[in-house]
Amino acid sequence: MNIDGLCEALAARLQQRGWMMATAESCTGGLIAAACTGLSGSSNWFERGFVTYSNAAKNELLGVDAAAIAQHGAVSEVVARAMAFGAVRHSKARVSVAVTGVAGPTGGSAQKPVGTVWFGFMVDGVLTSETRRFDGDRAGVRQATVRHALERLLALVEAAPQ
Domain of 83: which CATH number?
Answer: 3.90.950.20
Dist CA 114 CA 44 (whole Å)? 36
Query: For the whole model, what pTM was predicted?
Result: 0.97
The mean per-residue pLDDT over the stretch 99-104 comes to: 96
Residue 21: pLDDT band (50, 70, 90) is very high
**pLDDT surpasses 90 at 96:** yes
Report pLDDT for 28: 98
Report pLDDT for 108: 87
Residue 80: pLDDT band (50, 70, 90) is very high
pLDDT tens by residue, 109-148:
989 999 999 999 999 999 999 999 999 999 999 999 999 9
Report pLDDT for 110: 87
Report pLDDT for 159: 97
Report pLDDT for 45: 98
Dist CA 65 CA 63 (whole Å)? 6
User: Quick count: other Cβ atoms within 10 Å of Cβ 77?
Assistant: 15
pLDDT tens by residue, 43-52:
999 999 999 9
Helix axes 77-89, 55-62, angle to 10 degrees: 40
Beta-strand relationship, 46-51 and 21-25:
parallel
Report pLDDT for 128: 98
Q: Give the chain's domain count.
A: 1
CA separation, residue 27 to residues 44, 60, 98, 104, 158 (Å): 26, 17, 10, 9, 26
**Single-letter code of the amino acid located at 28:** T
Helix axes 3-17, 138-159, angle to 10 degrees: 30
**Average model confidence (pLDDT) across the chain:** 97
**pLDDT surpasses 90 at 162:** no
The mean per-residue pLDDT over the stretch 145-153 comes to: 98
Q: Do 45 and 19 contact (CB within 8 A), yes or no?
A: yes
Domain range for 111 is 3-159
